[in-house]
Amino acid sequence: MALLEVEDLVVSFGGNKAVRGISLALDSGVKTGLIGESGCGKTVTALAILGLLPETATVSGSVRFEGKELLSSSEGELARLRGDHLGVVFQEPMTALNPMMRVGRQIAEVLEIHDLASRTGARRRAIELIEMVRLDDPEVTARKYPHQLSGGQRQRIVLAMALAGDPTLLIADEPTTALDVTVQSEILLLLDDLVDDLNTSLLLISHDLPLVASLCDELLVMYGGTIVERGEVNEVFGRPLHPYTAGLREASDLDQVEDDQELRTIEGSVPPLGEFPTGCVFRDRCEYADDECLQVPRLEVPSGEGHEAACFHPVRHD
């Protein structure tokens, strides 16, 4: 049984689908990257899994985590799961932190709320967790308020909180995008080391294909609320089959810049909800589109290939 199984997940806002019936499975100990441009439905997917969607969202389908259906779980059950079996790190550390509370206490509170330690045990464990996320002087750091820390240090505290309950799955949505470029890679390498050490599965959400490819085992590529390609990282990054993935790869190919060429970007931009074309959602931006693409392509393994793509005319690499 997969750790997380999502089946036919649909999320709509005002009748427009932000997620259009996606299915995916994450296995234990596997690091999966979810990539796609801004507005493709990555965060909405994560929020649906976590039970954190706003009330304006309409949701259907199934999200099973450790065999339990989450879409029909109560708020209380979901809150218990988050910070316990399910760890979460979002883009902006300040939204996860209470500005009025010392950071050591905030980590200890996660442990207490989830009955993972007594008050003294929680304090001691919070110091260990601060050490684990490689912050200097854990005793001193624990007594600081969020505003006394840098953005990178705050995100380390959020990571300590997310890992406090020894989760089986960590969902990290653009965990370093809000940070200074110089600390982004440090935090990502730390996150990568920690999930390896703790044998935690990771769902890493980003728009940065090469970065995710360097850290993850599996890749899911999302466009227009659908999964357009998925498979083992070397397959998807090395032999992209969907024109969208191939475009993302080309747009991030730094060799082009070194050769003084202009960096190619994917033609056009992600439309707002409700303005995607019928049939293949990528149709209005795709150079290979023809009449067949007026139908919705299924996510399947094209003949002679090793992983899945939702495209009638997959890119050939021979």
Ligand X SMILES: Nc1ncnc2c1ncn2[C@@H]1O[C@H](COP(=O)(O)OP(=O)(O)OP(=O)(O)O)[C@@H](O)[C@H]1O
Of the candidates 207, 230, 307, 313, which one interacts with ligand X according to CB under 6 A?
A: 207
Binding-site size, ligand X (CB under 6 A) = 15
Length of the chain: 318
56 contributes a contact to ligand X by CB under 6 A: yes
Shortest spacing between CB 203 and ligand SF4, in angstroms: 24
Of the candidates 108, 282, 307, 308, which one interacts with ligand SF4 according to CB under 6 A?
A: 282
Shortest spacing between CB 265 and Mg ion, in angstroms: 19
247 contributes a contact to ligand SF4 by CB under 6 A: no
* Span 289-318, contacts to ligand SF4 by CB under 6 A: 289, 293, 297, 311-313
Of the candidates 2, 5, 10, 13, which one interacts with ligand X according to CB under 6 A?
A: 13
43 contributes a contact to Mg ion by CB under 5 A: yes
Please give the angle made by the CA atoms of 86, 17 and 283, to the nearest 5 degrees.
115
* Span 249-288, contacts to ligand X by CB under 6 A: 272-273
If the CB atoms of residues 170 and 286 are measured against ligand SF4, the closer one turns out to be: 286
Pattern of binders to ligand X over 135-154, x per CB under 6 A? Answer: --------------------
288 contributes a contact to ligand SF4 by CB under 6 A: yes
Binding-site size, Mg ion (CB under 5 A) = 2
If the CB atoms of residues 31 and 207 are measured against ligand X, the closer one turns out to be: 207
Q: Which residues are at the interface with Mg ion (CB under 5 A)?
A: 42-43
Q: Which residues are at the interface with ligand SF4 (CB under 6 A)?
A: 242-243, 280, 282-283, 286, 288-289, 293, 297, 311-313
